[in-house]
Amino acid sequence: MSAARGEGREPLRVVQFTTGNVGRRSVLAVLANPALELVGCHAWSPDKVGRDVGELCGVDPVGVTATDDVEALLALAPDCAVYNPKFPDVDTLVRLLEAGIDVVSTSVFITGRSWGDDKARIAAACAAGGATMFGTGMNPGFANLLGIVSAGVCDRVDSITVLESVDSTGYDSPDTDRAVGFGRPIDDPGLPAMTEEGTAVFGDAVELMAGALGLELDDIVCVPEYARTTEHLDMGSWSIDADCVAGVAGSWQGIYEGRPVVELKFCWRKGGTLEPDWRVEHGYIVEVAGRPSVHTKLQIFPPEDFEATSFADYMVLGMIMTSLPAINAIPAVVAAPPGIATYLDLPLPTPSGWVPSGG
């Protein structure tokens, strides 16, 4: 890898939290980037404790052992923690931040709006420790930055819509999917409340984008939709019964003067027996209505040397693009003043250190 970012500077010392779908990609990215050094790793699963982190991530041993001892990780005094657990633990985040350790997270944090009182705890911990908390991912996260950047050529913005439209059959995180309504009976009256709670971080992303437009929103609302699978759907680690939810779509809307000005839409489908049979765009689409109106589409493709034998293998690309916005932000987050930081506070995070050299 290129030495561009690390050149002339000590690498930033990083502690990793978890080696799940996203966490594994974070570990591999930290190991590969000369500006970063992996000094510790937290394991949530008891059977991962005591194992080499390289082994947990499918590569050769790296000499760092996973631990469940947060105190031991604090004692390493890392510059930054990369935080990728399935569900965030506010107590642990507070301990990190109070100890002066900056955090980059993909675990449902953007502005903290949806965290209620816990937002104030995070902000207080940042102030106490002189640390910075930054949350991103692909969506929410980078996709919202794409929306903001796309509107940067307009002298009038009527609305910005960002749509994530993907087939997520290969995403192996059943609890995360169940939390937004997947697998529930299609006529379950509790579904809308469940989706609103499970996707609440998209409301934060709406707040972020409204902030970029210089707006104080009147309201932020979630409008969900569902599709069922007509047959039993087996995805390996879990399954969805016939007539249960295998498609979750929604629109998080930022209302300003009675109309949606920022809209964050998602359309997630699983399997080939969806009713209605939602067409997915396999990417991220930004529509800016304004002068000019702007259409931006972000699509990803495997590189020629990418080896995949199953649909699930391709999900690695999705996990890379979830992890890297956080990894690439580390230098800016470490340099940022204390507090909760968003893309509106940081200089442009750059993809530095990723150009292969030496053939």
State the residues that interact with ligand NAP by CB under 6 A: 18-23, 43-45, 48, 84-87, 106-108, 137-141, 173, 176, 322
Residue 85 CB, nearest distance to ligand NAP (Å)?
4
C-alpha–C-alpha distance, residues 31 and 37, integer Å: 7
Please list the residues that pair with 42 across neighbouring strands: 17, 67
Please list the residues that pair with 255 across neighbouring strands: 219, 260
Reading the block at residue 239, the tokens are 């399954």
| CB nearer to ligand NAP: pick between 157 and 262 | 262
Residue 154 CB, nearest distance to ligand NAP (Å)?
26
End-to-end CA distance of the chain: 10
Residue 340 CB, nearest distance to ligand NAP (Å)?
16
| CB nearer to ligand NAP: pick between 18 and 229 | 18
CA distances from 257 to 195, 217, 219, 240, 322 (A): 26, 8, 9, 41, 33
Residue 66 CB, nearest distance to ligand NAP (Å)?
7
| CB nearer to ligand NAP: pick between 91 and 158 | 91
DSSP letter, residue 175: H
With CB atoms as reference, the residue minimizing the distance to ligand NAP is 137
| CB nearer to ligand NAP: pick between 109 and 226 | 109
| CB nearer to ligand NAP: pick between 176 and 273 | 176
Specify whether the CB–CB gap between 63 and 39 falls below 8 A: no
10 C-beta neighbours (distance < 10 Å), count: 9
At position 60, the amino acid (one-letter code) is D
Name residues whose C-beta falls within 8 Å of residue 335's C-beta, 6 or more positions apart in sequence. none
Residue 87 CB, nearest distance to ligand NAP (Å)?
4
Residue 93 CB, nearest distance to ligand NAP (Å)?
12
| CB nearer to ligand NAP: pick between 228 and 322 | 322
DSSP letter, residue 329: H
